[in-house]
């Protein structure tokens, strides 16, 4: 039964991925812009090619990328290529493969975004729960409005403030980049320390901006849970307050948070575009932004495909582990 269940989920996942891939195929194309021409216009502006070469070159490139073939063929090729993880060549950076572009950008994003999102999740959930539990505490009472303000601020705004204060004014941290650009050795402790040093401000901006969101939703859930009959009964049992808080309160309030975390995984990449732009961080959001600017659809396809997979699989993983967290979603064993 568990196997057929898993199978059903996998089929559903495949359907979701296929739908998203199809949309992804159509959207850049209806803009009607040809990235090859735009790329050439760019180089043409800087002088060089003549009219005759230009047309010939466009035709050759169109043939190279298969844009001269019927749209249905292109679509089928597109599906086939992606499914076999053949992401092809970038149009804008022609000789470079999309796979390589992504491979060099992805670790940065995962390192920065995933870590800071998880930190924000844990920090926010704890803070949110505590503000409800110690309602009369002055210190925590002070946190609530702060949390609300932070939750309302977008990542990049926090980022700009941080850059201004800690980089421009105080000069404690670098304002941009993933590491010192002049560096030649890209491994070893020295390098990782440098990376961590560069990650402080962008990471902090994400943590600050999203901790508030997690804290607010946790706070809301905690308030709801506090009104539940089982909390009253736990109280009537004279249980340790710590147990009532953790095993009865937090344990139940955290459930919707976990679902939200899975949905948030997609945002880990897309929502961070602006942070990566503000900090000129060499991550995947930055790559996606550049590709969209010149409608480099092979790269867009590649990046979005990776995004779709991330979201799809994080939902699947969540589906699989959720029954461990919430027995009510387990299939009855009758």
Q: What is the 3-state secondary structure (H, E, C) of 70-83?
A: CHHHHHHHHHHHHH
* Phi-psi domain of 85 (left: phi exceeds 0; alpha: psi -120 through 50; beta: other): left
Q: Which is nearer to another protein, 138 or 242 (CB)?
A: 242
Q: Which is nearer to another protein, 69 or 330 (CB)?
A: 330
- Count the residues in the chain: 334
**Judged by CB under 8 A, does residue 229 bind another protein?**
yes
Per-residue mark of binding to another protein, 255-284 (x: CB under 8 A): x-----------------------------
Q: How far apart are CA 223 and CA 240, in angstroms?
A: 19
Backbone angles phi, psi at 97, to 5 degrees: -85, 145
| Interacting positions 301-330 with another protein (CB under 8 A) | 325-328
**Judged by CB under 8 A, does residue 3 bind another protein?**
no
**Judged by CB under 8 A, does residue 237 bind another protein?**
yes
CA 52 distance to own-chain centroid? 44
Q: Which is nearer to another protein, 144 or 255 (CB)?
A: 255
Q: Which residues of 229-256 are buried (b: 16+ CB within 10 A; e: fewer)?
A: eebeebeeeeeeeeebbeebbbebbbbe
Q: Which is nearer to another protein, 241 or 263 (CB)?
A: 241
**Judged by CB under 8 A, does residue 245 bind another protein?**
no
Q: How far apart are CA 326 and CA 191, in angstroms?
A: 43
Which of 235, 317, 320, 321 touches another protein (CB under 8 A)? 235
In the bound complex, what is the minimum distance in angstroms from residue 321's beta carbon to another protein? 14
In the bound complex, what is the minimum distance in angstroms from residue 261's beta carbon to another protein? 17
Q: Which is nearer to another protein, 95 or 327 (CB)?
A: 327
Structure tokens, 74:
């292109």
For another protein, the binding residues (CB under 8 A) are: 228-230, 232-241, 243, 247-248, 251-252, 255, 325-328, 332
């Amino acid at each position: 039964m568990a196997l057929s269940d898993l199978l059903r989920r996998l089929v559903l996942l495949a359907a979701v991925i296929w739908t998203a891939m199809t949309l992804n195929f159509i959207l850049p194309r209806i803009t009607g812009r040809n990235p090859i021409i735009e790329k050439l216009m760019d180089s043409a502006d800087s002088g060089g090619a003549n009219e005759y070469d230009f047309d010939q070159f466009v035709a050759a490139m169109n043939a190279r990328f298969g844009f001269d073939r019927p749209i249905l063929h292109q679509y089928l090729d597109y599906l086939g290529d992606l499914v076999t993880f053949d992401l092809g060549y970038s149009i804008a950076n022609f000789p470079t493969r999309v796979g390589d572009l992504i491979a060099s950008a992805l670790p940065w994003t995962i390192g920065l975004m995933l870590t800071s999102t998880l930190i924000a999740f844990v920090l926010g959930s704890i803070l949110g729960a505590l503000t409800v539990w110690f309602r009369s505490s002055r210190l925590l009472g002070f946190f609530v409005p702060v949390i609300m303000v932070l939750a309302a601020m977008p990542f990049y705004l926090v980022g700009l403030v941080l850059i201004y204060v800690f980089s421009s004014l105080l000069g404690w941290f670098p304002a941009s980049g993933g590491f010192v650009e002049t560096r030649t050795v890209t491994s070893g402790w020295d390098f990782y320390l440098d990376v961590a040093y560069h990650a402080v401000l962008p990471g902090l901006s994400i943590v600050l901006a999203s901790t508030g969101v997690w804290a607010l939703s946790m706070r809301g859930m905690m308030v709801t849970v506090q009104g539940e009959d089982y909390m009253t009964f736990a109280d009537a049992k004279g249980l340790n307050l710590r147990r009532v808080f953790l095993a009865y309160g937090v344990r139940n309030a955290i459930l919707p948070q976990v679902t939200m975390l899975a949905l948030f995984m997609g945002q880990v990449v897309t929502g961070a575009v602006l942070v990566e732009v503000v900090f000129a961080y060499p991550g995947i959001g930055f790559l996606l932004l550049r590709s969209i600017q010149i409608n480099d659809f092979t790269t867009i396809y590649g990046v979005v495909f990776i995004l779709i997979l991330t979201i799809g699989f994080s939902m699947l993983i969540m589906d699989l582990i959720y029954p461990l967290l919430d027995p009510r979603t387990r299939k009855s064993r009758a």
